[in-house]
Chains A and B, each alone.
With several copies, the nearest count.
Chain A
């Protein structure tokens, strides 16, 4: 785990309102694995804000985001050279290992975030990658999905499959998913063994506050920032995740 003052390098748009921000964080770039995240300290909000690492480019790491509140808005407004305090890599990622011959990546909305790194690691382990990416409409699809096979799904049918990414996805030996919790619950129904990246509110990001509780089927709570954010889909007690909050809706 490293704590760096990372200079912003560049920002690019990948869908209307959705942008990739890259920052120079050599130690993190060198060590991060797919599904891990960084906790960013931004001037406005009090607490840090967690973001999956999207890509690594030399000494830089990238995160992808939309403005949903004060922290994301400030991050998107930063200019090259501005510094962001970057803590990471954090959490347990997808932990890919050699074995499966094919991987299906299922992402909804901002759930694209951990997928480019996952695709890279899966390929490096010799897997064939199918990436299924869903959004409400064609406009909101991230322009950077990639894989041996890419399947788009839109709720309104304006591009690709008309329906959810989960419905559009083929089966695979290994399924990785990220998106709103209700989507992940659907993933758990279909592929109990899928590995899913869960979103929670976080206090510390480092395992000390117990704020990021993920309810487990086996009872009790795990820390999303430490034992997670990636879980076996069947291990999570999806029904006990808050439903009345705009929680994990960033996807």
Chain B
């Protein structure tokens, strides 16, 4: 039996359900070990309109079954991305979405306009875990109105797929999910990293220069599965599960919990072949259990 690994998610048909998560795969030009045939798609490192230097070191700390990062969205800005990376992407056999960021609703919109129509840019993933500088630095993703406003601003400026990457530290992710769905999102990604802190006991201060960082890796997986499941229950658009996926079994948990596809991040640091291994493992699971496609997998998805 041949298993159909392709999935349709948020306006894109992907050859496989496993994508590379933003910030863990650069611009796709590194990680030579990955077998590209397995890659359903890729989300670029988060970018702002203008170049950003990022935060001083130390930027990462290991934690039990995870890591904190505070990269500070270091990046070359839209112009350099269009010049240096998009032309490469245009020739690749999987879609590349750009993870877009801003300090104001206007900045998200401007960045979208700048990137829309650039060959190689297959869609947008909105990172709403950015501080809203105009509104006192609260994350856009913590407030349904701000999250919807950003989504709308992007939606208005492009016909390409628009995915919204949800912030995990909210009291009800369903509210945010519904708000951005209504604002025109084609898919949701759940979830981004959780804010954490690690303390240096000699210096009596945080280990990260930025003080806090985002927790990723298997430590957060049960939380991410729950949030992705909650998001999937709350909306009609597809959800991509992200958070702590190391092996095929982990990806399958998200799929059964109601996700249409998954993104793999930190696992790639530990195993540069992780995405291929996960893709192949999902395929083997489907074969073993007699499912002919990813969509065939039974879902546990009682609707809200």
Contact = CB atoms under 8 A, between A and B. Distances in A.
Q: In the complex, is A directly touching B at CB under 8 Å?
A: yes
Nearest to B65: A46
Given A46-B65, A215-B56, A220-B53, A208 B270 contact: no
B1 interface: no
Main secondary structure of the interface of A (DSSP, over half): loop
A249 to B, nearest CB: 11
Given A46-B62, A208-B268, A200 B57 contact: yes
A209 interface: yes
A41 B270 contact: yes
Nearest to B45: A210
A213 B69 contact: no
Nearest to A87: B272
Contacts of A213: 54-57, 59, 71, 74
B217 interface: yes
Interface stretch (A26-34, A92-100, A166-174, A236-244): A236-244
Interface string A187-215: 00000000000001111111111111111
Interface residues of A, number: 36
Given A206-B31, A209-B23, A209-B69, A245 B58 contact: yes
A214 B57 contact: yes
A44 to B, nearest CB: 11
Interface string B244-284: 00000000000000000000001011111100000000000
B61 A41 contact: no
Contacts of B45: 210
A226 B58 contact: no
Contact of B272 (A47, A206, A240): A206
Which of B30, B57, B69, B209 has the most chain A CB atoms closer than 10 A to its own CB? B57
Interface string B48-88: 00000111111111111111010100100000000000000
Interface in B13-68: 23-26, 30-33, 45, 53-67
A192 B49 CA distance: 36
A207 B30 contact: yes
Contacts of B207: 245
Contact of B74 (A207, A210, A245): A210
A245 B65 contact: no
11 contacts: A45-B62, A47-B67, A208-B268, A209-B24, A209-B69, A213-B57, A219-B53, A221-B56, A240-B56, A242-B57, A245-B203
Interface of B: 23-26, 30-33, 45, 53-67, 69, 71, 74, 200, 202-203, 205, 207, 209, 217-218, 266, 268-273
